[in-house]
Amino acid sequence: MRGITGGNPSSGLENDARPTKDTLRLWLRALSFTSMVEQRVRSRLHADFDITLPRFDLMAALYDASEGLSMGEVSRRLMVSNGNVTGIVERLAREGLVWRRRNPDDRRSQLVRLSDSGRVTFEEMAEAHEDWIASMLSGLNEEEVEQLKHLIGKAKRSVLSSDGEEEGQ
């Protein structure tokens, strides 16, 4: 029965025999895990640095782009609308954490980059963030971490291939 196994008899996938309820439970656990970690990170960012997760994410996107990124590129990297990026950039600019300037290659767009102060602030937050994640996952040994990384990577490839997408899109 296709409804019970969740498989498409003509797909040829090796996992056709896995019951649909197990894959649904897996998805719910992954969602629950991600939500738990994200909530804790949001709380710690706010409590320790008085910053939101979207602002942290934007600063992370800019960290390795010493020449800056266009607002459109930031939007694409964060997978949010240009309007969301504009609001976050305006707040970070008022605090002196980012600089904005006209894009010399396209006068219609702006480039944004971390200021020196923003770079120092982000480095402090990123170090704390890494410690929080390490603490949250301290119940896993190195082998388990590697196994999970492998399995999550395999699951991501499965999701992408189910839509005919390539990894990295």
pLDDT at res. 11: 46
pLDDT at res. 167: 57
Spell out the residues 6+ positions from residue 138 whose beta carbon is closer than 8 angstroms to its own.
none
pLDDT at res. 15: 53
pLDDT at res. 35: 97
Global pTM value: 0.79
Return d(Cα 20, Cα 18) in angstroms, integer: 6
pLDDT at res. 166: 62
**Consecutive H or E run containing 69:** strand 69-70
Question: pLDDT digit of tens for each residue in the chain (169 aa)?
Answer: 334 344 444 444 555 555 689 999 999 999 999 999 999 999 999 999 999 999 999 999 999 998 899 999 999 999 998 889 999 999 999 999 999 998 888 878 889 999 999 999 999 999 999 999 999 999 999 999 999 999 999 999 999 998 876 655 4
Cα angle vertex 134, ends 132, 139, to 5°? Answer: 120
pLDDT at res. 103: 80
How far, CA to CA in Å, does 80 sit from each of 18, 50, 72, 111?
35, 22, 10, 17
Pair 125, 114: CB distance under 8 Å: no
Instruction: List alpha helices for the chain, DSSP H.
Output: 2-5, 20-49, 53-63, 71-78, 82-94, 116-136, 142-162
The Cα diameter of the chain in Å comes to 61
The radius of gyration of the chain's CA atoms, rounded to the nearest angstrom, is 20
